[in-house]
Structure formats: C-alpha cells, structure tokens
C-alpha cells in the first residue's frame, strides 16, 4: 500500500534511506526530504508491505518550456525488498500525482552507470534525451 508521507513520517523515511545501498543519510538528504514533506510543489510517497515501510519516492513539480512538469527526485528501497516491482509502483504513483497537478510530462535522471534505474526508466516508457557527465576537482586554498 502506498501512502503520502507527512512531516511526522520523517524518521520512517530516514530508516529506509539508511537500509538501502547507501547505508548513510547525508545532510543534503535530510534537507531535501524535509523540504519535500513541507512544500506544496513536492511530495513523498511511502510504500508499505504488510504494514512495514519498505520504500519511498520523492518527486516535485518543475517547469519545462513554461509548462508544469513532474520530476522524480529519488526512489529508495530497503535492500531486502529490491527487485520486487516496488520502484515501478512508486513511479506510477508519482506520475499520477504529477498528472493531478496538471503536468503533461514527467522527467527523471540517474547516474549513467546505474543499470537498474536505467532499465526501470526504459521499461516505464521514458525516452533518453541526453547523457551528462559531472566533473569536480579540489581547489587549493
């Protein structure tokens, strides 16, 4: 069962994050999750299996060519529940939310090396529009 999260669900969401592949919650994750729980243009959905919270998805409204567009920001699934169709269910819920908000388009991004997520998006009807590489270097101060 998928439910829309409330601010009181923050601890549930942080436990899901720390049980997926990352095993840690970054300050950036904390900020982004809290913002999503309190912003009208963002939403978090939690997936419960037998009343146990096992996954969540975070999405938002953006603009693309002056039109509202849904954007999938994150899906996180506890390790023991991965590869069971939960990501697809959450993605569908996010798309429905965006459609209810007047969006005609839904977008998502992922790391080029993340084969599972690339497969999810391809299987779900997304079209790849570009590949992006990010670069970083330390600055000597």
Sites in the chain below the pLDDT cut of 70: 20-27
Instruction: Tell me the three state secondary structure of residue 31.
Output: helix
pLDDT at 21: 53
Q: Which two tokens stand for residue 119?
A: 């497969």
Which domains are assigned to the chain?
A: 2-123 (3.40.630.30)
Rg (CA), the chain: 16
pLDDT at 26: 65
pLDDT at 20: 58
pLDDT at 1: 94
d(CA 99, CA 13): 24
Q: Which two tokens stand for residue 81?
A: 């529940």
Q: Tell me the whole-structure pTM to 2 decimals.
A: 0.83
Q: What is the DSSP string of 100-138?
A: HTT-SEEEE---TT-HHHHHHHHHTT------------P
């Amino acid at each position: 069962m998928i439910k829309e999260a409330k601010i009181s669900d923050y601890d549930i969401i942080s436990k899901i994050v720390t049980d997926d592949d990352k095993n840690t919650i970054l300050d950036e994750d904390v900020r982004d999750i809290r913002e999503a729980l309190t912003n009208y243009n963002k939403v978090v959905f939690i997936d419960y299996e037998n009343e146990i919270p096992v996954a969540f998805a975070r999405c938002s409204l953006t603009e693309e060519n002056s039109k509202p567009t849904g954007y999938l920001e994150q899906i996180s699934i506890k390790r023991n529940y991965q590869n069971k169709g939960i990501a697809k269910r959450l993605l569908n819920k996010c798309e429905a939310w965006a459609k209810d908000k007047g969006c005609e388009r839904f977008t998502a991004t992922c790391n080029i090396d993340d084969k599972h997520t690339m497969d999810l998006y391809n299987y779900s009807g997304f079209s790849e529009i570009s590949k992006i590489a990010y670069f970083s270097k330390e600055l000597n101060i």
